[in-house]
C-alpha cells in the first residue's frame, strides 16, 4: 500500500499570490537559486480553458508541459519567474492546439531551454507556425515526442513518453504526448488531450497516483477501462469557468469520483501544487 497523505492548504490571499513554501524570487538576482532538494513539485497553473503544467524535478531540472492560450503567457511566465527560475530544461508541447501551445512562444522568448519535445503532427494554424518560427529563431531543435522516448532515466526518477503510439491520427488530440513521471514510489500521468483511441493503444504501465485528466475532463478522454489501468488517487482537471465546451463532462466527474480519493479543478481551486518526496503526496491549492 502506498502511503499517501493529502494535505489541503488554503493559500488564497487578496492578491491571489501563492507564497507559502514557495522559493523566494530573490534567487533571480544572485543566480544562486536551486530547486527544492529531493522534492518533486508539480504545478498545475490556472490558465482558464487550457493546460499549463510546470514541474520542479528532484534532479534539480525543470519541465513545462504546455502553456495555455497565447494571451495567458504572462500568467505562466510570471508564475515560473516567481518560483525563481530563469531556465527550463524540458519543454513539452503536447499537441498543436492553441489552448496548449499558445503561450509557449513567449515562454521560449523569456527562458533559456534545453530540450523541446513535440509530436510529429501537422497544423497550419498561425499559433503553431509562430511557435515553430520562435523555435527556429532561437536555434533550438525539436525532438519527436512519441511512445518509447525516455526523457529522464535515473535510479529514482524516470520520465517516459508512452503515447502517441501511431504515426498518424484523424483527430489532432490523439497526437498528444502522454507522459509518465515516476519518482520513487509516486507517479504522475499527464495525458494532454489524448482521446480514448490513443489511450487504448498504450502498452506501458500507466498506473499513477496523480492523473492529469485528459482533455479538460471531456468524456472522450476518460473511460472505465483507462481508469482501471491508471488507478489514480488524485485527479487534476485543468479547465476554464463556464467554458463553451461544457468541460468537465458530468459523466467524467462521476467516473473520477468512483475511482479517486479527490478531484481538483483549476476553475474551482486556481493554481494546484502537488509535492512529493517520492513516498508521500501533498496537495496545496490557491483557493
Nearer to Zn ion, 60 or 126 (CB): 126
Cell of 137: 529563431
Residue 75 grid coordinates = 500568467
- Using the rule CB under 5 A, give the single segment among 57-65, 128-136, 146-154, 190-198 that binds Zn ion: 190-198
Q: Least separation, in Å, of the C-beta of 215 and Zn ion?
A: 6
Q: 58 or 68, CB closer to Zn ion? A: 68
At residue 269, the 3 state secondary structure works out as helix
State the minimum distance, in angstroms, from the CB of residue 218 to Zn ion.
Answer: 9
- Candidates 109, 27, 11; CA nearest to 60 is 27
CA-only gyration radius of the chain, Å: 17
Residue 265 CA: distances (Å) to CA of 46, 56, 237: 9, 20, 5
- State the nearest-atom distance from the C-beta of 100 to Zn ion, in Å: 5
Which of 19-27, 92-100, 141-149, 224-232 is the region at the interface with Zn ion (rule: CB under 5 A)?
Answer: 92-100
C-beta closer to Zn ion: residue 47 or 80:
47
Q: How far apart are CA 30 and CA 64, in angstroms?
A: 23
| Residues 6 or more apart whose Cβ sits within 8 Å of residue 132 | none
Name which of 65, 130, 52 is nearest 93 in CA terms. 65
State the nearest-atom distance from the C-beta of 35 to Zn ion, in Å.
28
Return the residue of 160, 193, 195, 284 that touches Zn ion, per CB under 5 A.
193
Complex with Zn ion: residue 187 or 220, whichever CB lies closer: 220
Q: Which stretch binds Zn ion (CB under 5 A): 19-27, 101-109, 133-141, 193-201?
A: 193-201
Nearer to Zn ion, 53 or 182 (CB): 53
Distance CA 280, CA 66 (A): 26
Considering only 56, 72, 89, 99, the residue that binds Zn ion (CB under 5 A) is 99
Cis check: omega of the bond before 269, within 30 degrees of 0: no
**How many residues of this chain bind Zn ion (CB under 5 A)?**
2
Stretch that binds Zn ion, among 63-71, 141-149, 180-188, 192-200 (CB under 5 A): 192-200
One character per residue 135-174, x = contact with Zn ion (rule: CB under 5 A): ----------------------------------------
| Cα–Cα distance, 24 to 179 (Å, whole number) | 29
* Residue whose CB is less far from Zn ion, 35 or 248: 248
Phi, psi dihedrals of residue 259, rounded to the nearest 5°: -95, -25
- Nearest residue (CB) to Zn ion, 51 versus 56: 51
Helices and strands (H and E) in the chain: how many:
9, 16
Residue 69 in grid coordinates: 492560450
| Contact flag: residue 267 with Zn ion (CB under 5 A) | no
Q: Give the residues lining the site for Zn ion (CB under 5 A).
A: 99, 193
Amino acid at each position: 500500500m502506498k502511503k499517501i497523505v493529502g494535505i489541503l492548504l488554503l493559500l488564497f490571499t487578496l492578491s491571489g499570490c501563492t507564497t507559502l513554501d514557495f522559493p523566494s524570487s530573490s534567487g533571480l538576482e544572485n543566480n544562486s537559486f536551486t530547486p527544492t532538494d529531493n522534492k518533486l513539485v508539480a504545478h498545475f497553473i490556472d490558465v482558464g480553458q487550457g493546460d499549463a503544467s510546470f514541474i520542479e524535478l528532484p534532479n534539480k531540472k525543470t519541465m513545462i508541459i504546455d502553456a495555455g492560450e497565447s494571451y495567458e503567457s504572462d500568467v505562466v511566465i510570471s508564475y515560473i519567474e516567481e518560483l525563481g527560475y530563469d531556465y527550463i530544461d524540458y519543454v513539452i508541447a503536447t499537441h498543436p492546439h492553441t489552448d496548449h501551445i499558445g503561450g509557449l512562444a513567449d515562454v521560449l522568448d523569456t527562458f533559456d531551454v534545453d530540450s523541446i519535445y513535440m509530436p510529429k503532427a501537422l497544423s497550419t494554424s498561425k499559433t503553431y507556425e509562430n511557435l515553430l518560427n520562435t523555435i527556429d529563431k532561437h536555434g533550438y531543435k525539436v525532438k519527436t515526442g512519441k511512445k518509447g522516448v525516455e526523457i529522464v532515466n535515473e535510479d529514482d526518477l524516470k520520465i517516459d513518453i508512452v503515447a502517441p503510439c501511431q504515426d498518424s491520427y484523424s483527430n489532432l488530440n490523439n497526437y498528444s504526448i502522454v507522459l509518465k513521471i515516476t519518482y520513487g514510489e509516486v507517479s504522475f500521468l499527464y495525458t494532454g488531450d489524448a482521446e480514448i483511441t490513443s489511450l487504448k493503444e498504450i502498452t506501458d504501465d500507466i498506473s499513477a497516483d496523480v492523473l492529469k485528466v485528459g482533455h479538460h475532463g471531456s468524456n472522450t478522454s476518460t473511460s472505465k477501462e483507462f481508469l482501471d489501468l491508471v488507478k489514480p488517487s488524485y485527479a487534476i482537471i485543468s479547465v476554464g469557468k463556464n467554458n463553451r465546451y461544457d468541460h468537465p463532462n458530468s459523466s467524467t466527474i462521476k467516473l473520477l469520483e468512483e475511482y479517486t480519493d479527490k478531484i481538483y479543478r483549476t476553475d474551482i481551486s486556481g493554481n494546484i501544487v502537488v509535492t512529493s518526496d517520492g513516498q508521500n503526496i501533498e496537495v496545496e491549492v490557491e483557493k
